[in-house]
Amino acid sequence: NEVLIPPLNFAMVAPGIYRSGYPNSRNHAFMQNKLRLRTIIYLCPEDYMEANVDFCKLNNIKVFQFGIQGNKEPFVDIPEDAIRDALYVLLDVRNHPVLIHCNKGKHRTGCLVGCLRKLQHWSLTSIFDEYRRFAGNKVRVLDQQFIELFRTSRVSAEHLRTLACNN
């Protein structure tokens, strides 16, 4: 019996949607045997680790990379269009089960999940509570501001209807 080790900061977001920090080869058995992933949404600009590339090829897992820099002061902003594009991949049930991750599973992942929660009509208080649970003592006010100001109206209603029809 192989020990199954989830990635750092792993959690279920919703049925078929998971979040974590950067997975490594120790996490591959868990990802294969428990999650049975179809898709990974990778939010960092750096090239994907070779062991993960090989794992994904072997298991027919699609990787969508959205090269988002960390939202650190003073001049780095998360591009709203990248989050919107990542949401389209995330919301398409044909991509489920899907794992969202960045390096630590805190900030960029927290922003994407926070924007998903806005689409799900969560209150900002609940969204920020969830964000803080994963960010710990590394909460970034700019991330929370990004989530608050994210315009869900720019996530195409037509696209969302198309996704709903594919259920």
Q: pLDDT class for 24, splitting at 50, 70, 90?
A: very high
Each residue's pLDDT tens digit, 36-49 = 999 999 999 899 99
Each residue's pLDDT tens digit, 106-138 = 889 999 999 999 998 999 999 999 999 999 888
> Would the pLDDT of 26 be above 50?
yes
Out of 44, 56, 102, 115, the active site residue is: 102
Q: pLDDT class for 11, splitting at 50, 70, 90?
A: very high
Q: What is the pTM of this model?
A: 0.89
Rounded to the nearest 10°, the torsion over CA 64, 59, 111, 17 is 130
Each residue's pLDDT tens digit, 47-97 = 999 999 999 999 999 999 998 877 666 556 778 889 999 999 999 999 999
* 17: β partners: 14, 98
Q: pLDDT class for 167, splitting at 50, 70, 90?
A: very low
Instruction: Give yes or no: 102 in active site.
Output: yes
Q: Are 23 and 5 in contact (CB under 8 A)?
A: no
